Structure 1
Amino acid sequence: MQQLLVGVEDHMAVGKQVRLFLVDGSPGGMLTAEIMNWTGHIMAAGRSDLPELLKRDEVKRTGVYLLLGDDPNGSYSNAIYIGEADEVGERLRIHSRSEEKGGKDFWNRAIILTSKDANLTKAHARYLESRFISIAKNAGRSFVTNGTAPVPLPLPEADLSDMEQFIEHARIVLPVLGVDSMRAVPTMTNLEPVSVGSASKSPVFEMTVTSEGILARAQEADNEFVVLAGSKARNGWVGSTPGYSKLHEMLATDGVLVSDGSLLEFSKDYVFKSPSAAAAVIAGRATNGRVTWKDPSTGLTYAQWQEHAVEDAQSVENDVVNPSSSEQRHNLP
Structure 2
Amino acid sequence: MGKKNAFKNRTRDRIMTVMNKVRKTNIIIYILIILKGFIIGIANIIPGVSGGTVALILNIYKRMITSIGNLSFSTIKAIIKLFSFRKKHFYDFKKEMMRVDAPFLVLLLIGAAAAIIIFSNLITILLETRHDITYGFFFGLILVSIVIPFSKIKNKSFKVFLSILIGIILIIALSFVISDEQQISNAKTANEMSMASQAIGIDIDIGKLIMMFLTGILVTSAMILPGISGSFIALVMGQYFLLLQAVSERDLLILGIFAIGGLIGLKFFAKVMNYLFKKCHDVFMAFISGLVLGSLWIMWPFKNTFI
TM-score by length of 2: 0.21
Higher strand share: 1
TM-score by length of 1: 0.20
Higher helix share: 2
